[in-house]
Structure 1
Amino acid sequence: MGLRLPYGHVDSRLRGLAAQAEGFGRFAIGGLHGAVYRVTTLADDGPGSLRAGCRKKDPLWIIFELSGTIELSSALYVSSYKTIDGRGQWIKLTGKGLTLKECEHVIICNLVLEGGKGHDIDAIQIKPKSKHIWIDRCSLSDYSDGLIDITNESTDITISRCRFANHNKAMLIGGDSCNTCDRCIRVTVHHCFFNGTRQRHPRVRFGKVHLYNNYTRSWEIYAVCASVESQVYSQRNIYEAGQKKVAFKYYSEKAADAAKECTGLIKSEGDLFVGETKSGLKPLRGKSSVFHPREYYKTWTVEAPTDDLKHFLRHRTGWQRIKRPADKRAS
């Protein structure tokens, strides 16, 4: 298709993902310096299980020796310096979700998370104080609360090539107007497909968020929402409305240490608003300004929002049938 797409080289070797994310999560190394841990059972816990690997304190590159569904009876906590690498197999997590709590350097790749049951269950919950996280090529749908929540001082995170579907609240960044500590949050979301999810693509409080080359279609409330003090840089995304035509919404909230309510800010650069879609964009006035990604990282792979890009995002996001690369370090 002639597109210049990111990450063309990361599947050439097992650990090729490490520190290759674009954007704010670019330093995530996962289990680069650890042993390979092989998941050999679909049981929720016990020897050879995913849960047993995730709770180990040592760095690990976790791979799967079988395909199938893992029914989680409780949240699966992921400790620091872990890669959960689903390449080469089809692994679905259901029942509960992943929790990244006070951890750093985690990579999650090529999983299906579907069917979270119970009250306030997120597919992936990143809080509190977690950093250097990369979530790549995951399919997320049908949880009782959010698909990805990033809150409580968690920062330096990239979400890429993921597919979000069959859900209400897709992605929350910044949990509450009282959490002024979330001013540190920085997240990049790129080359993702939000397919008919109702809202939060994402909804942002306080944090700085770079959105580029995503395709969001047929939302039911809004595409992107900027609330209290947030800054959203929306670059060359495709917004295609269904019944609700306005892509960008602004919600006023009062920070705990502020005297007045305020919304967030959105800057749109080169976005494509398809058909009857209205941007809803508000002009930046006075001293209002949105960060530029180049203040934080020098390069990223961004293309014009063309039909070719739309085709790629419809068919090449989420879980992929990928051969697991060899671990050349072990050879």
Structure 2
Amino acid sequence: MAMSTTTLALSFLFSTLLLQAPPLVFPFPAVQDPDLVVQEVHTRINASRRNLGYLSCGTGNPIDDCWRCDPNWESNRQRLADCAIGFGKNAMGGKNGRIYVVTDSSDDDPVNLRPGTLRHAVIQDEPLWIVFKRDMVIQLKEELLVNSFKTIDGRGASVHIAGGPCITIHYKSNIIIHGIHIHDCKPGRGAIIRDSPEHAGHWLVSDGDGVSIFGGTHIWVDHCSLSNCQDGLIDAIHGSNAITISNNFLTHHDKVMLLGHSDSYTQDKDMQVTIAFNHFGEGLVQRMPRCRHGYFHVVNNDYTHWEMYAIGGSANPTINSQGNRFLASNLAVRKEVTKHEDAPESEWKNWNWRSEGDLMLNGAYFRQSGAGASSPYARASSLSARPSSLVGSMTATAGALGCRKGSHC
């Protein structure tokens, strides 16, 4: 007997939800048995799908499909915290905390803080969801030390952190940074800076990163626009873990992203980072990312420019590249996507670097290595890759969004 139109529609909707739903993945040590990892992942998939609550905008981007088609997003901002994917998917940010509205763009004194400023908001001990009353440019005097359980949510305003030191996450957890323009960041001078309501201490000269994650865990950086900083755009070092970097637009910079402190800092072996749906655009040179020691899932990103290389690393990192689009620029010194650094071929040929379903254009090529990259371990990824043919549409709105109250973002 033929199915009714309603039944067919419901069946199609249910199937779409299942296809879009990212699997729930618990962090696992780098040395755990691959088959046990896969088994653990799949036993949790059904429970994850039951709790997604997707709005299904149909873009194919699971983060955006989770919240962007809701015209009432402004009255339900904290829904965003339920939309993360990848290794940083459990970053709570300021979920269930009160809304803090930044009304003052000044940063006159990093010790005696003025209520209503961004610095006053981020150092509080309680969970906070931080939003902005209006468009503003915030030029910080010293690096911005973000305390745990904070969301910096730029939606509904054009917010720039620029022209001075920028964001530092130092041994803190559960932080979401969303919808901020971060550019032209410079090193701090070294000064006494308040990092909580009760404490201010002396900090050394900072590096000039856009976002510096130092020993941070459960971090999510999403839909930010980053460019032209003194050091890295986003760096994660010193045992940082459980990080997702997604939907960002990165341009005009040399050393874009460093993940892992040094070849000798073995605590980074447990680092797990998801890099998804980002657009690596005009004027980039290298480190998209540069990895050390840990496990890195690079999935459904659009690479439209590099001059030296796109993805590189040293100290035997595992790199799982899936469903990306790599367009080698005519300005590129090398068409090769990858660079195995600081080791002879006799050593790096055993590093597990895997490319699956990547689209290579204008002569781009990915040099795979190792045997384990094609093992079950690689299938226990932080999320399921979509076909590389969809990357253009999934990353078309990467970067800070022009969200306005009462309409879809």
Provide TM-score, normalisation by structure 1.
0.89
- CA 1:65–1:167: 2 relative to 1, 3 Å: same
SS in 1 for 2:296: strand
Counterpart Cα distance in 2 of 1:73 and 1:261: 45
Gapped regions of structure 1 (runs ≥ 5): 255-259, 327-331
Choose the corresponding residue for 1:310, options 383, 392, 401. 392
What is the total number of aligned residue pairs between the two structures?
A: 314
Q: How does 1:99-178 map to 2 (within 5 A)?
A: 99-118=168-187, 120-128=207-215, 130-178=216-264
Counterpart Cα distance in 2 of 1:227 and 1:325: 48
Q: Which has the higher helix share?
A: 2
Q: Deviations over 1:249-298 (max 9, x none)?
A: 111359xxxxx96574311010011122122x13424x67667465365x
2:203 aligned with 1:203: no
Q: How does 1:30-45 map to 2 (within 5 A)?
A: 30-44=93-107, 45=113
Q: Deviations over 1:5-38 (max 9, x none)?
A: 2121324421011142111001011011211111
8 A contact 2:60–2:394 mirrored in 1 = no
2:399 aligned with 1:295: no
Counterpart Cα distance in 2 of 1:97 and 1:190: 23
8 A contact 2:167–2:211 mirrored in 1 = yes
Q: Larger radius of gyration, structure 1 or 2?
A: 2
- CA 1:62–1:293: 2 relative to 1, 3 Å: farther
8 A contact 2:78–2:96 mirrored in 1 = no
Counterpart Cα distance in 1 of 2:158 and 2:296: 31
Match of 2:269 in 1: 183
Counterpart Cα distance in 1 of 2:402 and 2:368: 41
SS in 2 for 1:18: helix
Match of 2:340 in 1: 250
Match of 1:74 in 2: 142
Specify the code of the residue in structure 2 equivalent to 1:247: V
Provide TM-score, normalisation by structure 2.
0.72
SS in 2 for 1:9: helix
Counterpart Cα distance in 2 of 1:181 and 1:23: 21
RMSD of aligned residue pairs (Cα, Å): 2.3
Counterpart Cα distance in 2 of 1:84 and 1:181: 28
Match of 2:21 in 1: none
Q: Deviations over 1:79-100 (max 9, x none)?
A: 0000000000000001111000
- CA 1:288–1:133: 2 relative to 1, 3 Å: closer
Q: How does 1:222-233 map to 2 (within 5 A)?
A: 222-233=309-320
8 A contact 1:152–1:174 mirrored in 2 = yes
Q: Deviations over 1:168-200 (max 9, x none)?
A: 011110011111000010000000001131001
Counterpart Cα distance in 2 of 1:291 and 1:310: 29
- CA 1:138–1:324: 2 relative to 1, 3 Å: farther
